[in-house]
Amino acid sequence: MARLKLKLQLYCGDEIAMGPGKADLLEAIACEGSISAAGRALGMSYRRAWLLVDTMNRCFAAPLVATQPGGGKNGGARLTAAGDAALAAYRALSDQVQDGVAGPDFAALEAAIRPQPLPAQA
Amino acid sequence: MARLKLKLQLYCGDEIAMGPGKADLLEAIACEGSISAAGRALGMSYRRAWLLVDTMNRCFAAPLVATQPGGGKNGGARLTAAGDAALAAYRALSDQVQDGVAGPDFAALEAAIRPQPLPAQA
């Protein structure tokens, strides 16, 4: 059957305030307790993880991630209450949207798509 | 207000049978009457457009795009009945999913996101 992938991005101006990658990063920060460990867990450089956190903190009215003052690369980080709330709302919204896919249009597409693609011709 | 961007992809095995870019390409082929003109209209190389069409045609049970036999790069192309149906179902499904976003979780995220991001620090 055709698998469906839904990507839900929330923009703030031209920047992406929240999306699948940022939600995964928040989850990893909550688990790992630091931005660098969260980045490592997701196969992401510290710089990349830091930039994603910085974007979220600039896009939301209250920062989603709090870092230890002066901690730098080795300092701890945790989700704020706003971070917990944003992550929970994003996950719930993603589930809601996923559940909203069912219906005749999805069924028609599923029925029209092969289980596996034909091979590409050389 | 936070703008929402939803990307809906339908997979066939490891390949994307239908998504926003492929739907736009189908629409352009229907308008322009050829793969190369459709690619140009979307700022896409002929090779890239051709590969997307080839993927769709290999992923769906019936081809979505019919090309003039022997036409090559300058030949005409049009949507088949299966192509019309797949495009219509994908557009309708996208609208349905977009409409399914409303609710308290989206409202909470919208309320928490700034109208514009704070500037990045140097």
pLDDT digits (tens, 9 = 90+) for B100-114: 999 999 999 999 999
Residue B70, pLDDT > 70, answer: no
B4 CB within 8 Å of a chain A CB: yes
Tell me the three state secondary structure of residue B42: coil
pLDDT string in tens for chain A (122-residue length) = 568 999 999 999 999 999 999 999 999 999 999 999 999 999 999 999 999 999 999 999 999 999 987 666 667 999 999 999 999 999 999 999 999 999 999 999 999 999 999 998 76
Please compute the mean of the pLDDT values over residues B71-95 and round it to a whole number.
91
Query: pTM, whole model, 2 decimals?
Result: 0.84
Distance (Å, rounded) from C-alpha B8 to C-alpha A56? 23
The topology under which CATH files domain A10-104 is: Arc Repressor Mutant, subunit A (1.10.10)
Within 8 A by CB and 6+ apart from B101, the residues are A8, A93, A96, A97, B4, B6
Q: Is residue B122 scored above 70 in pLDDT? A: no
Distance CA A56, CA B109 (A): 12
Task: Give me the residues of B, 60-99, that contact A with CB < 8 A.
Answer: 60-62, 82, 85-86, 89-90, 92-93, 96-97, 99
Looking at residue A70, its pLDDT comes to 65
Best CA proximity match to A83, nearest among A26, A37, A28, A38: A26
Gap from A74 CA to chain B (nearest CA, Å): 20
Of the candidates A61, A109, A117, the beta carbon closest to that of B86 is on A109
> What is the C-alpha to C-alpha distance for residues A96 and A56, in angstroms, rounded to an integer?
22
Q: Note the pLDDT of residue A113.
A: 96
Instruction: Give the Cα separation of B5 and A51 in Å (integer).
Output: 21
pLDDT at residue B71 above 80? no
pLDDT-derived band of residue B16, with 50, 70 and 90 as boundaries? very high
Whether residue B4 and residue A8 make contact (CB cut-off 8 A), yes or no, is yes
Helix (H), strand (E) at residue A72: none
Interface check for B41 against chain A (CB to CB < 8 A): the answer is no
Q: Which H or E run contains B25? A: helix B20-32
Instruction: Go through B40-50 and write b for each residue having 16 or more CB atoms within 10 A of its CB, e for each that does not.
Output: ebbebebeebb
Q: Domain locations in chain A?
A: 10-104
> Nearest by CB to B89, which of A97, A109, A121?
A109
CB nearest B113 (choices: A10, A101, A108): A10
**Cβ contact, residue pair A7, B6, below 8 Å:** yes
* Better-scored residue on pLDDT, A120 or B29: B29
What's the CATH architecture for B10-102? Orthogonal Bundle (1.10)
- The answer to whether B108 contacts A85, with C-beta atoms less than 8 Å apart, is yes
